[in-house]
């Protein structure tokens, strides 16, 4: 069942620097939601607050009404949250399949001792996850690479592998951090198709941080625009693209006046 994500008054401070200032919004279950803004707007910092890598200085982050701010990533995984990163964090000497299987580590039954001994229950679970991982690779056009070392694949394919790893966690809330960064146009189109397929086939909420406004416009139901750590506006991607405040934030006041 897709999760609801709610941010209420989230602020983040590093020393005397305010990175985020009282950011609030709600992502409804099943939505594809975009976080956009110019460089330095605070998008990735906000993602880090959601995913447990940063603890907000103030405010609440809730999943299905349960406050989770400051929780460890492993705890958040049990709430159904999974995340990808701007730079895919893969074990490059391991195979693509082995990298995807890392997404199952929070779901193995038992504990460290049972995993070390590799009981019958552990072996059954490992085989089930192996089948599921291969199926995910097939659905995402990567089955051919399952047994290749990850370092033989391109940057774009690394992003696909990381997405499969996140999906193996069976998330109800999936965070995608700049999934189109560094991808050629054809691979961006493939990514758009993959996220649309998630919408059609899986009961999942997706939140995307992205600079590629074409992708945001093609995918999202709603967006929040951040600027200097503050929420500038919330609405559809089309509304954001035509909002004078957003235009000014992206290209500067003088240029915005020229456009007007």
pLDDT in tens, 122-156: 678 788 889 999 999 998 889 999 999 999 998 88
**Cα 31 from Cα 220, distance rounded (Å):** 8
Angle among Cα 78, 80, 85 to the nearest 5 degrees reads 105
Whether the pLDDT of residue 255 is over 50: the answer is: no
User: Are the C-beta atoms of residues 54 and 42 closer than 8 Å to each other?
Assistant: no
Cα–Cα distance, 235 to 156 (Å, whole number): 30
**Do 162 and 176 reside in the same domain of the chain?**
no
Residue 66, pLDDT > 70, answer yes
Integer Cα distance of 136 and 153 in angstroms: 17
- Give 105 or 230, the one with higher predicted confidence: 230
More confident residue, 92 or 34: 34
Mean pLDDT of the chain: 87
Do 92 and 150 touch, CB atoms closer than 8 A?
yes
| Residue 229 within a domain | yes
| Residue 183 and residue 211 in one domain | yes
Give yes or no: residues 63 and 16 share one domain.
yes
Q: How far is residue 158 CA from its own chain's centroid? A: 15
Last residue of a domain, one of 124, 148, 169: 169
Do the domain assignments include residue 85? no
Q: Which segment of 84-88, 128-132, 163-167 scores lowest on mean pLDDT?
A: 84-88
Contact between residue 81 and residue 173 where contact means Cβ atoms under 8 Å apart? yes
How high is the pLDDT of residue 167?
93
Residue 103 in tokens: 């997404």
Tell me the C-alpha distance between 61 and 216, whole Å.
Answer: 23
Tell whether the model's pLDDT for residue 214 goes beyond 80: yes
For 194, the token pair is 């993959």
Residues 177 and 127 in one domain: no
Q: Do 183 and 68 share a domain, yes or no?
A: yes
**pLDDT given for residue 257 in this prediction:** 44
Residue 221: domain span: 1-80+171-260
On the question of pLDDT at 107 being above 90, the answer is no
Cβ pair 137, 130 in contact under 8 A: no
Average pLDDT over residues 208-227: 91
Domain total in the chain:
2
pLDDT for residue 108: 62
Give 24-51 pLDDT, tens digit per residue: 999 999 999 999 998 889 999 999 999 9
Contact 60, 69 (CB under 8 A): yes
Instruction: Inform me whether the pLDDT recorded for 64 exceeds 90.
Output: yes
């Amino acid at each position: 069942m897709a999760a609801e994500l709610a941010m209420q008054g989230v602020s983040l401070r590093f020393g005397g620097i305010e990175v985020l200032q009282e950011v609030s919004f709600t992502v409804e279950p099943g939505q594809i939601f975009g976080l956009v803004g110019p460089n330095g707007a605070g998008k990735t910092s906000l993602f880090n607050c959601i995913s447990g890598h940063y603890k907000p200085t103030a405010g609440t982050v809730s999943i299905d009404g349960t406050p989770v701010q400051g929780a460890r990533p492993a705890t958040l995984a049990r709430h159904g949250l999974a995340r990808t990163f701007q730079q895919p964090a893969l074990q490059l000497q391991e195979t693509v399949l082995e990298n995807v299987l890392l997404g199952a580590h929070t779901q193995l039954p038992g504990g460290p001792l049972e995993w070390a001994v590799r009981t019958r229950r552990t072996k059954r679970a490992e085989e089930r996850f192996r089948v599921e991982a291969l199926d995910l690779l097939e659905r995402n056009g990567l089955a051919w690479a399952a047994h290749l070392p990850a370092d033989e694949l391109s940057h774009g394919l690394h992003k696909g592998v990381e997405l499969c790893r996140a999906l193996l966690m069976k998330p109800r809330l999936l965070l995608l951090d700049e999934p189109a960064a560094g991808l050629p146009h054809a691979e961006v189109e493939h990514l758009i198709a993959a996220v649309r397929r998630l919408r059609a086939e899986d009961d999942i909420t997706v939140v995307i941080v992205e600079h590629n406004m074409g992708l945001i416009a093609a995918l999202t139901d709603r967006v929040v625009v951040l600027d200097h750590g503050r929420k500038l506006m919330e609405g559809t991607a089309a509304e954001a693209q035509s909002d004078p405040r957003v235009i000014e934030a992206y290209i500067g006041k003088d240029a915005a006046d020229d456009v007007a």
